[in-house]
Amino acid sequence: MSAPILRRLDALRATTRPWVRAGERIGVVPTMGALHDGHLSLVAAARAACDRVIVTIFVNPRQFNNAADLANYPRTEDEDARKLARFGVDALWVPDADQMYPAAFATTVSVAGLTDVMEGAYRPGHFDGVATVVTKLFVQTAATDAFFGEKDYQQLLVVRRLAADLDLGVTVHGCPTIRDIDGLALSSRNLLLSDRARTMAPRLHEEMEAVAQGLRAGQPFAALREAALTRLDKAGFTGTDYLDLRAQDDLAALEAPERPARLFAAAWLAGVRLIDNIAVD
Ligand code: PAF
């Protein structure tokens, strides 16, 4: 059965009030729409763990540092609602813009430290936009639990930090990245890849796996990284913003996986920026 689509805060509050009174666990899956199997895996995890499930769809202008990226972001609300129908979602929160950012809106949530590197360095203001909207979504929906993909691992850590620092009482669950059969991490932005670029895109994950394998064999990260960057260039990628080895808990830069670590990459292919990360055991 299709979930009701709520666009105004008073309707959302009227819906959640009895759930809160009954002490139910409210699981929230924040999204910007263009839902794929990665999002649906988060919805399934929320459905399994919580009494109530709210999926939010809001293309948040404050986290885009590039106007063209915001304009081109895929918007597929009807299709999204259809995809969710089989999951027993209790409500879809698709706020009108003024419900999120009324004219006088003047507050920013900013998480220090974790946001200095990678996406934070390449997309100024991005994480302030994410932290602000996620805080609002948690408060608006009366979330007790929230579900985020490890695909955006840095975002997951930022959200965990803000939920703890602001005593929001929300347990933030990280769920594994879902990949296509050829290894490409599912992302709404994959819809923007041409057919040709789509065939080339899995190369990013392949090169990351090659670096991880080299690290496991004890080879030096700097040399592995250089070789992978050269191969990506030759394969038609038009620039790699970063290919970093970092600690899994605080994102400190590492030269070897001497503690639990992940490889992180962001690279450009035919005008589309792909990001990915994998654990290095
Ligand atoms: O990961 C996303 O889709 C967005 O950053 C989020 C968490 C929905 C906030 O707008």
Nearest residue (by CA) to ligand 1, atom 2, is: 31
Do residues 92 and 116 touch, judged by C-beta distance below 8 A?
no
Question: How does pLDDT run along the chain (281 residues), one tens digit per residue?
Answer: 789 999 999 999 999 999 999 999 999 999 999 999 999 999 999 999 999 999 999 999 999 989 999 999 999 999 999 999 999 999 999 999 999 999 999 999 999 999 999 999 999 999 999 999 999 999 999 999 999 999 999 999 999 999 999 999 999 999 999 999 999 999 999 999 999 999 999 999 999 999 999 999 999 999 999 999 999 999 999 999 999 999 999 999 999 999 999 999 999 999 999 999 999 98
How far apart CA 277 and CA 252 sit, in angstroms, is 15
Q: Is 39 a catalytic residue?
A: yes
How far apart CA 224 and CA 218 sit, in angstroms, is 11
**152 Cβ below 6 A of ligand 1:** yes
Nearest residue (by CA) to ligand 1, atom 8, is: 31
**99 HSE (CA, 13 A, CB side):** 20
Domain with CATH 3.40.50.620 in the chain: 5-175
Distance from the alpha carbon of residue 98 to the mean position of ligand 1, in angstroms: 18
Residue with tokens 């939920």: 163
What pTM value is reported for the model? Answer: 0.97
Mutate to test the pocket of ligand 1, among 40, 65, 93, 152 (most ligand atoms within 8 A of CB): 152
- Please report, for residues 117, 161, 198, the alpha-carbon distance to residue 111 in angstroms, rounded to integers and kept in the order given: 12, 7, 34
Nearest residue (by CA) to ligand 1, atom 9, is: 130
Domain 5-175 has CATH 3.40.50.620: yes
CB neighbours of 115 closer than 8 A, spacing ≥ 6?
A: 127, 128, 154, 158
Q: Is 200 exposed, middle or buried (0-12, 13-18, 19+ CB in 10 A)?
A: middle
**130 Cβ below 6 A of ligand 1:** yes
Domain with CATH 3.30.1300.10 in the chain: 188-280
How far apart CA 13 and CA 142 sit, in angstroms, is 9
How far apart CA 199 and CA 275 sit, in angstroms, is 16
Determine which helix (DSSP H) or strand (DSSP E) holds 211, and give its type and residue range: helix 203-216
CA 253 to chain centre: 21
Distance from the alpha carbon of residue 30 to the mean position of ligand 1, in angstroms: 6
What CATH class has 188-280?
alpha beta
